[in-house]
Chain A
Amino acid sequence: MDREGTVLVRTLPSSYPMELVQEIGAQMIAAFREASEAQLPLSEIVVNYSSLRITARELRGGVIVFLAAKAHSTE
């Protein structure tokens, strides 16, 4: 995604709603910006949910975001 939140390239299935992809990207871009404003510049963010891990890396012109489903424990 570029800094304006436009999705440039994606490898997600086309069935995955574009608006959600944009929402995820926008939140990651905003998180980088807010961290920087709080004097906490970050170059990588990992958000762990119970069923999903989102990893975002800041690049010169935007961010690259990885989504990885988490395996559920069967215990």
Chain B
Amino acid sequence: MGTRHKLLLLDDDVDLLDMYRQLLSQLPSQPEIYTASSGPRAMAMLEAERFRLLICDLKMPKMDGLQVLSIVRRKHPELRTVALTSVADEQFRSRAYALGVDLFWYKPATEQEIKMFLECLESLLGRESDNGFRGVQSKSLVDIIQLECISQSSSTLRITNGGHTGKIWIQDGEVIDAEAGDLVGEPAFQRILSWRAGGFESLPAEPSRERTILKSYNGLLLETAQAIDEKRAVNGEGTTPPVSSTVPQLSQIEGIEFVLAMKPGQEGPPMARGLENPQRMAEWSRQTFDRFRALSDRIHAGPLEQFEGTGPQRNISLTTHGDTEFCLGWKHSMTVEEVREMTKKILTLWAS
């Protein structure tokens, strides 16, 4: 009681640091305010001392705020974090929340904004910790699992759904075990993913946890999504889109992350597996098909056969078979040639 919390403010603009230091000195709980003007410096300070709150600018040279937050999230899970930016970009917001920040704020400019900002900080400083772990906002459980796995993280997710609690253990980017009530392993994982709402907490990894789930996280998520869809269909629940019986088969192909099949003029949701928002992907696919068909008309390159894209998160192929258009998502580790080959395999399977 009476302990002053330590607050670390990170911004590459030294003038702003001074200004914010003065501003934060108005906080009722009178935290000890420390400043750092670079990511590495902040990391060193966090290693050396125990801080309660980190306020981090997002746009910084060399190590940017998102990089800092991503490291901090893993190394100092008890630390509350605030992302601060002057750049009005929704991508920053979603990426910051995906990293588990407690607050995302545009740099306050008006007196009213400053007042609200300080109130939020005071609330964060004062909020009692629950074993030092916090929830993740605005993201689905599948998002969180994918994020942890893509970044090759190790952690334990504790998920609550009303009176139910489940745990998922992730080690080096793979889901190794799950527990929900009296279930363990894959059945527990399926049970947890079938919960439609709840809260998340990220706990430290447990490297000694015995591995009971041997499938890759992609395969596991796809199979689980399929099992949940089937269960809901049997129960007559919700508005599960009609899914071609072939699409689930295609989604079992090695390396594939999602399958989307569309018919021209098709009404209602597209046939899809492994996608949380198939409608958005379908729109992008149609837009891209249209764009490159129109280009071919201009440059007389002949019919569009296939589109392939490689990226840091996943690779994509767009292709057609008969009047069906496909958008296929592939692991980012695959080469363009592998994507091309596997896309052929998908078309062969579809045709058969």
A49 touching B301 in the complex, CB below 8 Å, given contacts A40-B313, A41-B312: yes
Contacts A34-B284, A38-B281, A46-B336 known; A24 to B307 CB distance under 8 Å?
no
Taking the complex as formed, is B325 at the interface, i.e. its CB lies under 8 A from any CB of chain A?
no
Please tell me if A43 contacts chain B, counting CB pairs below 8 Å.
yes
Identify the stretch in B70-78, B187-195, B285-293 within 8 Å (CB) of chain A at 4 or more residues. B285-293
Q: What separation, in Å, do the CA atoms of A49 and B299 have in the docked complex?
A: 11
**What is the CA–CA distance of A38 and B283 in the complex, to the nearest angstrom?**
9
The CA of A27 and the CA of B284, in the complex, are separated in Å by 14
* B292 contacts A42, C-beta separation under 8 Å: no
Which of B283, B304, B310, B314 sits near A44, CB closer than 8 Å?
B310
In the bound complex, do residue A45 and residue B308 qualify as a contact, i.e. CB atoms below 8 Å apart?
yes
| A49/B303 in contact, CB under 8 A | yes
Q: A23 touching B308 by the CB < 8 A rule?
A: no
Quick one: which of B303, B304, B306, B316 contacts A40, CB cutoff 8 A?
Answer: B316
Residue in contact with B301 in the complex, picked from A34, A40, A42, A50, CB distance below 8 Å: A50
Q: Is B295 an interface residue (CB 8 A)?
A: yes
Are the C-beta atoms of B311 and A43 separated by less than 8 Å?
yes
> A52 on the interface (CB 8 Å rule)?
yes
Please report which residues of chain A, range 1-59, place their CB below 8 angstroms from some CB of chain B when the two chains form the complex.
Answer: 20, 23-24, 27, 30-31, 34-35, 38-52, 54
Which residues of B sit under 8 angstroms from A50, Cβ to Cβ?
301-303, 305
Query: Given A43-B311, A44-B310, A46-B336, are A31 and B291 also a contact pair (CB < 8 Å)?
Result: yes
Closest Cβ of chain A to B335, distance in Å, is 10
Q: Which residues of A contact B296 (CB under 8 A)?
A: 49
What separation, in Å, do the CA atoms of A51 and B314 have in the docked complex?
Answer: 27
Query: B281, B283, B295, B312: which has the most chain A beta carbons within 10 Å?
Result: B295
Q: Assess the B305–A30 pair: CB atoms within 8 A.
A: no
Is B305 touching A49 in the complex (CB atoms < 8 A)?
A: yes
Contacts known (A38-B280, A40-B316); A27 close to B287, Cβ less than 8 A = no
- Name B339's closest neighbour in chain A (CB-CB): A46
What separation, in Å, do the CA atoms of A48 and B284 have in the docked complex? 18
- Chain B residue numbers with a CB within 8 Å of A43 are 310-312
Q: Report the minimal beta-carbon distance from B332 to chain A, rounded to whole angstroms.
A: 10
B126 at the interface (CB under 8 A from A): no
Residue from B283, B301, B307 in contact with A46 in the complex, judged by beta carbons closer than 8 Å:
B307
Q: Is B309 positioned at the interface, with any CB of A under 8 Å from its CB?
A: yes
Which residues of the other chain, A, contact B287 by a CB distance below 8 angstroms?
34
Q: Judging by beta carbons under 8 Å apart, are A47 and B310 in contact?
A: no
The answer to whether B284 and A23 touch across the interface, beta carbons within 8 angstroms, is no
Please tell me if the beta carbons of B310 and A20 are within 8 angstroms of each other in the complex.
no
B62 at the interface (CB under 8 A from A): no
Report chain B residues within 8 Å CB of A49: 296, 301-305
A35 close to B309 (CB less than 8 A): yes
Chain A residues near B196 (CB-CB < 8 A): none
Q: B298 within 8 Å of A by Cβ? A: yes
Give the nearest-CB partner of B277 in chain A: A39
Instruction: State the 5 A-B residue pairs at the shortest beta-carbon distance, nearest first.
Output: A50-B302, A49-B301, A38-B284, A52-B301, A42-B309
